[in-house]
Amino acid sequence: MAKYDIIIIGSGLGGLQCGYILAKRGYKVLILERQQQPGGCMQSYARRGHALDTGMHYVGGLGVGDCLYSSFKYLGLMDLPWQHLDPKGFDRVTIGGRDFSYAEGHEAFVETLSREFPAQRKGLERYAATMREVGSHLFDAIMPRDEVDFFTTSLFSQSAYDFLHDCFDDELLINVLCGSSLKMELAKETLPLYNFAQANNSFVQGSYRLIGDGNMIVRHLIDDIERFGGEVLCNAGVDELIEKDGRLVAARCANGETYEADIFISDAHPAVTCDLVKESTKMKKVYRNRIHRLENTYGMFTLSLVLKPGQLKYFNWNQYIYQKPNVWDYYKSDGPVSGILISCRVPEDGLMVGGQVVDGDARILDILTPLPWDRIEKWADTTVGHRGADYKSLKERLSQECIALAEQFIPGLHNMIEASYASTPLTYRDYTLTPDGSAYGVRKDYHDPMMTLLSAKTPIPNLLLTGQSLTLHGLLGVTMTTLFTVSEIIGKEEAWKITQTE
């Protein structure tokens, strides 16, 4: 029976980042992945010679001195080809036929929107200052500052929705400021100001997308993990985490193999992790119940379009489109799709100047819109490829509604399409085991932040958690949580150094 220092369950971004850091520091690391392909929601899939992404569309904060730069540099991810999105408008929001742009940099962000909303400048300055402040505290859970325990108090217990209404008395501007937030769940009843401001701050610092597919990140991290002596095994789904004398001792896989380790890290959803621990003297019923009662954020309907050559020029920004100024509520309606994100893949054969693509044909578009679980729950007991005609009809209707809305920005889009591929939260659930096919993990609630913010530590002393369900979602949140997790192994000072790499 093989024995390791650390076993990591799941090869999503959090699992791979933990594996990279720990293997680089000399630990004998094994990553166990249930699917035949690693990467979790970072993985891409191939159709007709095109690599299509599942969860990677763009990331913020990669400029020198910005929030993710040091961590990504340590992980070697800054060596990948990153396309810097248009600083004059990296996100563009169309609401009711009016167009608005987010400019890069807090001052330019304020200035650009102030031209459209001159009476709201003071509120915009306050909002920008809040983003800056929360961004400066990104890694406080590793090394809290003496003057304020920012991480466990402050903005986690404030409502994002209420804050915006305190800053602004113009509902259209509030909708514009929230219009690029399909990268999180806009839930006015629960969303903490911390999560809203932290995520948006990183993109205002600077926004980037890969010149290529999300598997580039996966491949890079795995290649280095293996170079450092670690192992990544696919088709090795963990069925049980075995406890002895109050500590985990082994992971038993569905293929019959058992692997021993001193420390275990789970990149699976916390509820899934609890279910893997069948018997425990440490993980009591009260902890399990707490985890299982946590609500999950909504999932996404994703439409990937392969376009015919020569039909559309690449556009170097993300386009958001809403029929009405109701961005906090539109997804709750049973009517046609009325809010979408359009993300354009950088053409790898485009004209490049200084490492950046400046011209080329768009070949792949991703269109995303929220799809709450109750719309698809009747197919919950089905599996991929076996959901029936009604489900196919639903996907086709949603696809056509997304295309119709996108044609406000790209007239005649339906005639440009060579092939299309649609997925729902059911697809996401089946491939990642994420309950309800949630796009952003556990829902955070400003009313009770300490119940919905999860520690990397569990009642079992050698079982740690990682991933976007703990604190913050997306590439930013997962990277932050990775460092929280590994700090429990390598020490907080060593983890802090990773965030300070120059």
Write the pLDDT tens digit of every residue in 235-257. 999 999 999 999 999 999 999 99
What pLDDT is recorded for position 47?
82
Q: What is the helix, strand, coil percentage profile of the chain, to 5?
A: 40, 25, 40
What pLDDT is recorded for position 295?
95
Query: Which of the 8 DSSP states describes residue 133?
Result: H
pLDDT band at 385 (very low <50, low <70, confident <90, very high): confident
Mean pLDDT, range 58-87, rounded to an integer: 96
Across 299-450, the runs of DSSP E, i.e. the strands, are 299-307, 318-322, 339-344, 351-353, 356-359, 364-371, 417-423
Task: Give CA separation, 501 vs 218, 424, 496, in Å.
Answer: 22, 39, 9
User: Could you give the CA distance from residue 268 to residue 206 in angstroms, rounded to a whole number?
Assistant: 30
Coil, strand or helix at 439: coil
pLDDT band at 14 (very low <50, low <70, confident <90, very high): very high
Q: Class of 3-54+63-78+213-295+444-499 per CATH?
A: alpha beta
pTM, full prediction: 0.95
What pLDDT is recorded for position 80?
96
Number of Cβ within 10 Å of residue 160's Cβ equals 25
Mean pLDDT, range 26-47, rounded to an integer: 89
- Mean pLDDT, all residues of the chain: 93
Cα dihedral 434, 440, 443, 449, rounded to 10, equals 120
Break the chain into its structural domains and give their ranges.
3-54+63-78+213-295+444-499, 107-204
What pLDDT is recorded for position 334?
86
The per-residue pLDDT for range 95-129, each reduced to its tens digit, is 999 999 999 999 999 999 999 999 999 999 999 99
Residues whose CB is less than 8 angstroms from the CB of residue 275 and which lie 6 or more positions away in sequence, other chains included: none
Token code pair at residue 341: 């994100």
Token code pair at residue 20: 């990279």
